[in-house]
């Protein structure tokens, strides 16, 4: 948080100056109590206390308080004017703080989202997506509601306290010292009360993340839930998560809400003690404390209670906000795990080959890929087949550097891919996968994926290559048609062909097809396969497929079993070999025949 605030030194200085002016004007208003009392009770103005004379003669020298000619009505108008100016400076301070807080929160959200985009795929495999969303949205908002609000109090209230205490010392130092001795007790009680807030708030945020994850899963799997009549079970899970969250949140509210009345009670108690001690001093005529100045002292001392109360509430809120800030901090400092070489090499073309050199990879302790070696030459179509869990999709993830290998290398044109600039290297690939991700945006934006420099005519040609030309022409809005949340307004085949159009627009030398037709009916597969045939022409293709129609024309087929390469050859060669590939076809495991 301090690193964020260092970006606004000018605004912080302006806030400090405005608060200083506001507090000084407040001091002047309260010091008017003494001349007001003297005028009201017909006491001579010639013997104003030293502190009143000090402030008035330096800050309002033209009023000549010691002349005794200032009328009561003029004094009241002066108090109103000073209070108006005090409120003006207070509002100006809050006005500057408002823009700083909003901009700081915007910066924090931008940094969190940018971090999410740069985190490796593996980070999300081991975490609930709802928890990540909660950190990016709810936790940053909690920082705004608690931490930033508290920091505003921390920036303004200490200035108020300091100046008021200086004025109180000038009025009567012994009584102020006595008052200060009582305050540490109040702070100790309040700090003990709010000590557990940070830990409780962190538990609350974790429960909220679990609840959001369950909601996300339920929305995504609503058809399955309804089909299996599992609504009662899903609701029971949500109710349990919601009850846990509500229980922790209730305890947090009770503890936070206790801070303000407790601090107020302790403050009033201190005021009462000061009234008794100071009153006795006035009655005994000790330490030159007149009745008028004692009234002024008590009025000013009550103003010390409000910032103390505000600081105690801010302290409790700050502990809540720190728990949210901790979670945001963990996300921002998560290891991105895909480092870029210090002197990385620019790359914009694929010339020769992509070679897997004794590649080994594991997500945990057990390897998923074991000592895999093979080569894909430029212009080749190479298919990866194998039973579920054989490591096919993991290999494609390694090719695109979503992960780095545990051991071994992947070489592009003879150079380890870790030596290339990551952005340049990934620009060589286009991916068409089984799980098509469409965004709640227009058809044009879903095809271009954020590139606004692509002409609509080029996007339309790409959609025609993907067998979507007639469909788009039939839409009232054409390329401006909104595909809806996750593209659910479209059929599975249409969504898949949009992903193919993305690959066409991207126009990369290497194409990765990850089970692009495995979940389609025969009619949809035919249309998609025709589009794929057009896209694959004159490209290097790495295809992961279950359907025989997709892979039988591959230049080479790599057969994987338990993360190892067990066979390599063309479709005919592998059939004649009567090995694992032929067994897979005959049993239907890993390759579906006749489709």
The DSSP letter of residue 314 is: H
595 three-state secondary structure: coil
Does residue 70 register a pLDDT over 60? no
Is the four-CA dihedral 508, 361, 559, 376 of positive or negative sign?
positive
Q: In the chain, list all ranges with CATH 1.20.1560.10.
A: 2-313
Does residue 477 register a pLDDT over 60? yes
Neighbouring CB atoms inside 10 A of 224's CB total 12
438 three-state secondary structure: coil
* pLDDT attached to residue 593: 46
Are 122 and 403 within 8 A, CB to CB?
yes
Are 564 and 372 within 8 A, CB to CB?
yes
| DSSP secondary structure, 104-140, as one string | HHHHHHHHHHHHHHHS-HHHHHTS-HHHHHHIIIIIH
Task: Tell me how far the alpha carbon of residue 487 is from its chain's centroid.
Answer: 25
Angle between helical axes of 149-171 and 173-194 (0-180°, round to 10): 160
Q: What is the mean pLDDT of residues 210-232?
A: 69
Are 139 and 111 within 8 A, CB to CB?
no
Is the four-CA dihedral 261, 262, 263, 268 of positive or negative sign?
positive
Under CATH, which number does the domain 2-313 receive? Answer: 1.20.1560.10
Are 434 and 514 within 8 A, CB to CB?
yes
* pLDDT attached to residue 190: 60
* pLDDT attached to residue 525: 60
Q: What is the mean pLDDT of residues 443-462?
A: 83
* pLDDT attached to residue 522: 55
The DSSP letter of residue 419 is: G
Which of 426, 448, 429, 550 lies closest to 498, judged by CA? 448
Helix (H) or strand (E) holding 377: strand 367-377
Q: Backbone phi, then psi, for 409, in 5-degree steps?
A: -145, 160
| DSSP secondary structure, 469-517, as one string | HHHHHHSTTGGG-B--GGGTTS-HHHHHHHHHHHHHHHT-SEEEEESTT
Measured CA to CA, the distance from residue 240 to residue 207 in angstroms comes to 10
Q: What is the mean pLDDT of residues 58-64?
A: 59
* pLDDT attached to residue 568: 92
* pLDDT attached to residue 527: 67
Which of 72, 74, 51 lies closest to 62, judged by CA? 74
Query: Please, which pLDDT band fits residue 556 given cuts at 50, 70 and 90?
Result: very high
Pairing of the two strands 381-385 and 556-561 = parallel
Does residue 270 register a pLDDT over 60? yes
Q: Between residues 251 and 219, which one has the greater pLDDT?
A: 251
Q: Between residues 201 and 33, which one has the greater pLDDT?
A: 33
Pairing of the two strands 353-362 and 407-412 = antiparallel
What are the residues facing 567 on neighbouring strands?
Answer: 559
Average model confidence (pLDDT) across the chain: 78
Query: Please, which pLDDT band fits residue 58 given cuts at 50, 70 and 90?
Result: low
Q: Between residues 396 and 48, which one has the greater pLDDT?
A: 396
Q: In the chain, list all ranges with CATH 3.40.50.300.
A: 353-587
Does residue 553 register a pLDDT over 70? yes
Does residue 427 register a pLDDT over 70? yes
Q: In what order do the strands lie in the sheet with 415-416?
A: 367-377, 353-362, 407-412, 415-416
Pick from 53-67, 214-228, 231-245, 294-308: least confident = 53-67
* pLDDT attached to residue 373: 92
The pLDDT tens digits of the residues spanning 179-194 come to 777 776 666 666 565 5
405-429 burial string, b = 16+ CB within 10 Å, else e? beebebbbeeeebbebebeebbebb
Q: What is the mean pLDDT of residues 365-382?
A: 89
The DSSP letter of residue 344 is: P
Q: In what order do the strands lie in the sheet with 381-385?
A: 429-433, 510-514, 540-544, 381-385, 556-561, 564-569
The pLDDT tens digits of the residues spanning 88-120 come to 998 898 888 877 877 777 888 888 888 877 777
Does residue 64 register a pLDDT over 60? no
Measured CA to CA, the distance from residue 468 to residue 350 in angstroms comes to 29
* pLDDT attached to residue 33: 79
The pLDDT tens digits of the residues spanning 123-180 come to 776 677 777 777 777 777 777 767 666 777 777 788 788 888 888 888 778 888 887 7
Under CATH, which number does the domain 353-587 receive? Answer: 3.40.50.300
Measured CA to CA, the distance from residue 244 to residue 139 in angstroms comes to 18
Does residue 518 register a pLDDT over 60? no
Are 215 and 130 within 8 A, CB to CB?
yes
Does residue 590 register a pLDDT over 60? no
Give the start-end residues of each E strand in 386-492.
Answer: 407-412, 415-416, 429-433
Burial class (CB within 10 angstroms; exposed 0-12, middle 13-18, buried 19+) of 135: buried
Measured CA to CA, the distance from residue 462 to residue 534 in angstroms comes to 10
The pLDDT tens digits of the residues spanning 222-234 come to 656 665 667 777 7
Which of 100, 31, 95 lies closest to 65, judged by CA? 31
Does residue 507 register a pLDDT over 60? yes
Neighbouring CB atoms inside 10 A of 527's CB total 18
Pick from 1-15, 100-114, 309-323, 421-435: least confident = 309-323
Which of 211, 222, 216 lies closest to 246, judged by CA? 211
- Enumerate residues 6+ apart whose C-beta is below 8 A from 201: 142, 252, 319, 320, 321, 322, 323, 324
Q: What is the mean pLDDT of residues 532-555?
A: 78
């Amino acid at each position: 948080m301090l690193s964020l605030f260092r970006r606004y030194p000018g605004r912080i200085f302006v806030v400090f100056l405005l608060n200083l002016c506001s507090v000084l004007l407040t001091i002047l208003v309260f010091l008017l109590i003494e001349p007001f009392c003297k005028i009201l009770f017909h006491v001579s103005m010639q013997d104003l206390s030293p502190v009143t004379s000090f402030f008035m003669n330096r800050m309002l020298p033209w009023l000549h308080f010691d002349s005794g000619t200032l009328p009561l009505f003029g004094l009241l108008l002066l108090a109103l004017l000073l209070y108006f100016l005090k409120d003006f400076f207070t509002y100006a301070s809050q006005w500057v703080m408002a823009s700083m807080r909003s901009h700081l929160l915007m910066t924090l959200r931008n940094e969190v989202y940018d971090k999410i985009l740069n985190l490796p795929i593996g980070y999300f495999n081991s975490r609930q997506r709802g928890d990540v969303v909660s950190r990016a949205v709810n936790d940053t908002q909690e920082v705004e509601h608690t931490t930033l609000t508290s920091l505003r109090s921390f920036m303004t209230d200490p200035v108020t306290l300091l100046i008021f205490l200086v004025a109180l010392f000038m009025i009567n130092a012994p009584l102020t010292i006595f008052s200060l001795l009582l305050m540490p007790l109040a702070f100790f009680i309040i700090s003990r009360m709010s000590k557990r807030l940070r830990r409780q708030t962190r538990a609350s945020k974790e429960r909220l993340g679990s609840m959001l994850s369950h909601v996300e899963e339920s929305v995504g799997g609503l058809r399955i839930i309804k089909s299996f009549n599992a609504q009662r079970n899903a609701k029971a899970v949500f109710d349990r998560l919601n009850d846990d969250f509500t229980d922790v949140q209730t305890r947090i509210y009770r503890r936070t809400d206790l801070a303000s009345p407790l601090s107020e009670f302790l403050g009033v108690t201190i005021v009462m003690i000061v009234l008794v001690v100071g009153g006795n001093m006035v009655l005994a005529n000790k330490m030159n404390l007149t009745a008028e100045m004692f009234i002024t002292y008590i009025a000013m001392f009550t103003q010390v209670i409000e910032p103390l109360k505000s600081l105690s509430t801010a302290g409790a809120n700050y502990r809540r906000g720190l728990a949210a800030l901790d979670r945001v901090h963990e996300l921002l400092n998560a290891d991105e795990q895909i480092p870029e070489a210090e002197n990385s090499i620019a790359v914009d073309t694929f010339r020769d080959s992509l070679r897997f050199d004794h590649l080994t990879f594991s997500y945990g302790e057990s390897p998923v890929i074991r000592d895999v070696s093979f080569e894909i030459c430029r212009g080749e179509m190479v298919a990866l087949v194998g039973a579920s869990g054989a490591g096919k999709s993991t290999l494609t993830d390694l090719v695109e550097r979503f992960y780095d290998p545990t051991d071994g290398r992947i070489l592009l044109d003879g150079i380890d891919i870790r030596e290339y600039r990551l952005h340049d290297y990934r620009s060589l690939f286009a991916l068409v996968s089984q799980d098509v991700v469409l965004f709640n945006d227009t058809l044009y934006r879903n095809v271009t994926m954020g590139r606004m420099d692509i002409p609509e005519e080029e996007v339309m040609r790409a959609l025609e290559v993907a067998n979507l030309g007639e469909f788009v022409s039939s839409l009232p809005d054409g390329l401006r048609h909104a595909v809806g949340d996750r593209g659910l307004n479209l059929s599975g085949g249409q969504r898949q062909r949009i992903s193919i159009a993305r690959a066409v627009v991207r126009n990369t030398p290497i194409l990765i097809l990850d089970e692009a037709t495995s979940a389609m009916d025969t009619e949809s597969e035919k249309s998609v396969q025709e589009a794929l045939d057009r896209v694959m022409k004159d490209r290097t293709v790495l295809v992961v497929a279950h359907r025989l129609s997709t892979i039988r024309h591959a230049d080479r087929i790599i057969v994987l079993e338990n993360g190892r390469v067990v066979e390599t050859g063309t479709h005919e060669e592998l059939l004649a070999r009567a090995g694992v590939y032929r067994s897979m076809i005959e049993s239907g495991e890993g390759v579906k025949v006749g489709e």
